Structure 1
């Protein structure tokens, strides 16, 4: 049975936060949506000791929260409860709400204590454990890009950039690394950093990205890959909540504007050896054989994991040539036109930047897909081929699925995905996404009428 988080962690938190009396329990479903409930202070000891019951159907919802009955996780077992158990180290204040508010992440288990198969955090944990076989440990960091929108326009379905918080108007242009944007939204950004510090999140470099209202904040790498994904989950919640406090909506959609760049989730990964050193470290920027095998595995399995990295209809609007989003299975050194980038830096910092996933992807599943590809490449000693020199968009290369239906089809048929994530997980995820796609494309949009109302 998996060990429970120690009660002394809870007791230490309660002692340090005497006013805390509203604790949000956070479960991240397969679609990456955060769900849960709020507990009172008096309920917390039992939650940490015994866990909390949650309906099993919470693991079979689509992105809108609709039950996907075809998964077999709704009526077949009477929507039986599973047990949500707190994740050690995840109990933190939620300072944007009040000094009474706190939150913690949970993982789902069966009644015998075994991990629930369709909890995405458990999926990532299983992949991480595979690295014990080769005496290596994944080190990961997740970068998230997001857009800020005017609240009223976003709610109305016609989002525009928000007015600057200092009264300087709205951002309108491509202005990468524009310092004025940081000044214009300074109050929001300062509150993000304060909240991140209160939660122990290692929020580091902030940049204004390549579109009006688009930002990126880098989370420092973690020697615990599960913790890196937990921090991405916490950070997304934090950014959204703080933006609302400032009258804005923060969105992690992959492609909210047709004319501006999309938002990615860049996953940075290296491997630590038994001595605690970077196993990818090498004076050659193209890496040592171990790193090249890892890149080979990521290239070889890229198509099979696209459904995880681009899980929504909107995800596929992001993949356009010369848009800073990749469109094929390529790799290169210090090159942002490829899918797998080896950033510039000293030998001891050598790592892989995986640039395919959108900001809308589930961080647990996105990282699981990256690590599975790396493990596969290392164990099979796969060759990545030559690194791309120059503009990767102009070179012939192997494309990956660039539409939702095809990506789900490839994932469902993938023996590789089933071997790392499990048959039931793959079937459940694909069933959810196929049902969601069917509902999405059945609904006429304003664009249908713009294109076809009078012309056909």
Structure 2
């Protein structure tokens, strides 16, 4: 049973917003009525409470109580008692404090409502160990000790779906322009962007209104599938905050336009899944990209190779963070271009790690494995842990793959959530990086989901067995 205190915590009080932020915001928005206090749980699902705007100053000065069991919730929203964070501690509250510079208006609301991102603490100086956001903080402190700053960017794929299902299954929404329901694959189609332009433009505008650097939209590999990119920034923690909030923007704007949006990893059996690609480079204290070649022909240089070596070596044991749900593993099938082995290559989109070529100063690693359903904080933690391990231990990645990696490598990454959790539990390195308490809570939540899923009798089982046996 994890205790309420942990040795694996870092002081994040400097990240707590000042009360001056609240008063300045209310002064700029005298019409403000309510504020949604948001916190992302262990699944990356945003939860919280709505307060009257008159209480905002108190939230900034004293925080707001929320139960520790918020981080013991399974994907259905039920408390998993095996985490030790529910009845065992009397459903005890922790204190949540505002995250600086995340207070903003929500343009999709019909009333003047703002939102504010929170993080959970035991007290103002002690982060709560089960809040995944604090794991990123710990990893960034390790990079700071190396004199390095990660520069990161998220790419998120998602599906627009009709608010009405067909035979209990999702379906693409009818085009607001033509009224037709899309059924063809047109990667990078401008026409598809035009069909849903009102929603896409509104999403970008809503993102910008909240200070989220969304800059590119691409029509992806299936009907109703799109990708939206966030610009790179030199604050990996803020990049994760932005990814969480961008998902909220897309869902709410989609609903406002009569559709739903889903980041489920694989909503359609016959179509491609949705991924979460992450780009990472590293700056030294002089602002130089240490992954970039220092001399002609010096690509990949030592640091870049070691970073990839660590990511590749730790990919299996961190896989439960990259693919955290039962459905996550549906993405990994023939013909869907999802890496199923720890591979790397230069400008090769068939490998797990890709080094884009072009401007030397923009040299970076693109990590192409995680699903869109993953928690951005835990994905970032896993990636930073792998890079730090690779650089400090000087792990070599082996030879790059040229050509189609799927034809040259056997699938070796976990093929189920159960296998991934087993590797995570056995990882001494991740236990050292994240703390056994956090890993125990995460695994308990996922074990609960597996047990519930496996005890459920599916429609397919009835079709196969009921009248046959």
Measured against the shorter chain, the TM-score band is over 0.9
Structure 1 window deviating more from structure 2 (320-329 vs 401-410): it is 320-329
Q: Distance in 2 between matches of 1:309 and 1:188?
A: 28
**Cα gap change, 1:398 to 1:182, in 2 (>3 Å):** closer
Q: Deviations over 1:117-158 (max 9, x none)?
A: 00010111111111112110111111100000010117x731
User: How many aligned positions are there?
Assistant: 455
2:44 equivalent in structure 1: 32
Of residues 377, 398, 401 in structure 1, which corresponds to 2:414?
A: 401
1:323 equivalent in structure 2: 336
Of residues 343, 349, 358 in structure 1, which corresponds to 2:371?
A: 358
Give the secondary-structure state (helix, strand or coil) at the position aligned to 2:48. Answer: strand
1:271 equivalent in structure 2: 282
Match status 1:167 vs 2:178:
yes
Q: Distance in 2 between matches of 1:168 and 1:333?
A: 42
2:382 equivalent in structure 1: 369
1:402 CA displacement: 1.0
Q: Distance in 1 between matches of 2:130 and 2:360?
A: 38
Contact 2:150-2:235 within 8 A present in 1 as well: yes
Q: Normalising by structure 2, what TM-score?
A: 0.95
Structure 1 window deviating more from structure 2 (315-324 vs 181-190): it is 315-324
Give the secondary-structure state (helix, strand or coil) at the position aligned to 1:152. Answer: coil
2:358 equivalent in structure 1: 345
Structure 1 window deviating more from structure 2 (278-287 vs 53-62): it is 278-287
Q: Distance in 2 between matches of 1:321 and 1:373?
A: 27
2:432 equivalent in structure 1: 419
1:47 equivalent in structure 2: 59
Q: Which runs of structure 2 are paired with 1:50-449 in the superposition (5 Å)?
A: 50-98=62-110, 100-111=112-123, 113-153=125-165, 157-282=168-293, 284=297, 286-397=299-410, 399-449=412-462
Contact 2:319-2:420 within 8 A present in 1 as well: yes
Contact 1:161-1:171 within 8 A present in 2 as well: yes
Q: Deviations over 1:55-89 (max 9, x none)?
A: 11111110111110011111222111100100001
**Two-structure CA RMSD over aligned residues (Å):** 1.4
Q: Distance in 1 between matches of 2:396 and 2:215?
A: 34
Contact 1:284-1:347 within 8 A present in 2 as well: no
Structure 1 window deviating more from structure 2 (110-119 vs 62-71): it is 110-119
Q: Distance in 2 between matches of 1:385 and 1:433?
A: 33
Contact 1:269-1:353 within 8 A present in 2 as well: yes
1:5 equivalent in structure 2: 17
Give the secondary-structure state (helix, strand or coil) at the position aligned to 1:432. Answer: helix
Structure 1 window deviating more from structure 2 (437-446 vs 394-403): it is 394-403
Structure 1 window deviating more from structure 2 (388-397 vs 52-61): it is 388-397
Q: Distance in 2 between matches of 1:61 and 1:168?
A: 40
Q: Deviations over 1:70-113 (max 9, x none)?
A: 11111222111100100001111100003511101100000363
Q: Distance in 2 between matches of 1:18 and 1:99?
A: 13
1:450 CA displacement: 2.8
> Which structure 2 residue ranges, 5 or more long, are not aligned?
1-10
Contact 2:292-2:299 within 8 A present in 1 as well: no
1:177 CA displacement: 0.7
Contact 1:322-1:393 within 8 A present in 2 as well: no
Give the secondary-structure state (helix, strand or coil) at the position aligned to 2:315. Answer: helix
1:275 CA displacement: 0.6
Contact 1:330-1:397 within 8 A present in 2 as well: no
Give the secondary-structure state (helix, strand or coil) at the position aligned to 2:120. Answer: strand
Q: Distance in 2 between matches of 1:75 and 1:196?
A: 39
Structure 1 window deviating more from structure 2 (92-101 vs 82-91): it is 92-101
Give the secondary-structure state (helix, strand or coil) at the position aligned to 1:27. Answer: strand
Q: Normalising by structure 1, what TM-score?
A: 0.97
